Structure 1
Amino acid sequence: MLGEQGVAVTQATISRDIKEMQLVKVPSVGGGYHYSLPVQKQLDTQKKLSRTLVDALISLDQQEKFIVLHVQPGNGPALSTLLSQMNYSDVFCTLGDDSTVLVICRSDEGATNVKEIIQKFVE
């Protein structure tokens, strides 16, 4: 896949990077496997995400595949990164500026799922 995107890389480099990032291979819901963060790192990321949402979230809204979070100034990049690190399968990508985070989901239903997850963090 990387070669198709014009990225020249060896298997050894990919394996070394996977090891350095401490990724683990886990079964996928639809069969096969995918790489994920180790459980402890996911728990740490989840705690940081929860704390940041509780401290910084001002508003949360959804339009189709898009979720917009308005946050206290300075929190957008960190929150965007934390949401990305959670590796939610419904999330295509996240973008964060100083006080706004845009979460682009793979589907409208996926966006609804992610919005509900975010809301549970702040309840």
Structure 2
Amino acid sequence: MKTGRHARILDIIAEHPIETQDELLTRLREEGFKATQATISRDIKDLRLVKTLGSDGKYRYVSASRSSTDIRTNFSNLFSTSVDSIDVAQNLVVIKTLSGMAQAVCAALDSADYPSVVGTIAGDDTIFIACRTADLAVSLTEELKKLI
């Protein structure tokens, strides 16, 4: 069931410009899949989907399973257009985004596989990044600030 749903999600985002989890959930339900918003959220993370800016100026989900160069480019584009500020407190990096963009930026950040990052948490407009040390948090902050 999960494998079939994952395959269909990849097909849906390839065929349609899906901007939100709700849109994806609606399409899946129309096709007979029984899922909740929490399930879709986990699927997005499992599939490593990220939001990228389309030629129409709207964000949409895409698969991050392309080359690492593509992932970094998509991350940089999303990051530069969605992040308002970055700050550091001990070993935590705090990123403020445009409203509703924190989860997309966080998923893209997770896909970028920064070795200094232990874990991330995203809300609506805020991301918390736990780094291994305070020095690594400062280094990550400096690196990320270059993207905005």
TM-score (norm 2): 0.54
Q: For residue 41 of structure 1, what is the aligned residue in structure 2?
A: 67
Partner-residue secondary structure (3-state), 2:87? strand
Deviations 1:48-101 (A, max 9, x none): 211112111111110010010110011101111111111111100111111111
Deviation at 1:41, TM superposition (A): 2.4
The whole-number CA distance in structure 2 between the counterparts of 1:107 and 1:115 is 12
Structure 2 unmatched ranges of 5 or more: 1-46, 48-63
The whole-number CA distance in structure 2 between the counterparts of 1:76 and 1:57 is 8
Q: For residue 83 of structure 1, what is the aligned residue in structure 2?
A: 109
Q: How many pairs align? A: 86
Partner-residue secondary structure (3-state), 1:87? coil
Alpha-carbon RMSD? 1.8
Deviations 1:92-111 (A, max 9, x none): 01111111111110100110
- In the TM superposition, structure 1's runs of 4+ consecutive aligned residues that sit over 3 Å from their partners are none
Counterpart check, 1:104 vs 2:130:
yes
Q: For residue 3 of structure 1, what is the aligned residue in structure 2?
A: none
Deviation at 1:117, TM superposition (A): 1.4
The whole-number CA distance in structure 1 between the counterparts of 2:108 and 2:120 is 9
The whole-number CA distance in structure 2 between the counterparts of 1:92 and 1:55 is 25
Q: For residue 114 of structure 1, what is the aligned residue in structure 2?
A: 140
Q: For residue 63 of structure 1, what is the aligned residue in structure 2?
A: 89
The whole-number CA distance in structure 2 between the counterparts of 1:63 and 1:41 is 33
TM-score (norm 1): 0.64
Deviation at 1:44, TM superposition (A): 1.4
- The share of aligned pairs that are identical, in percent, is 21
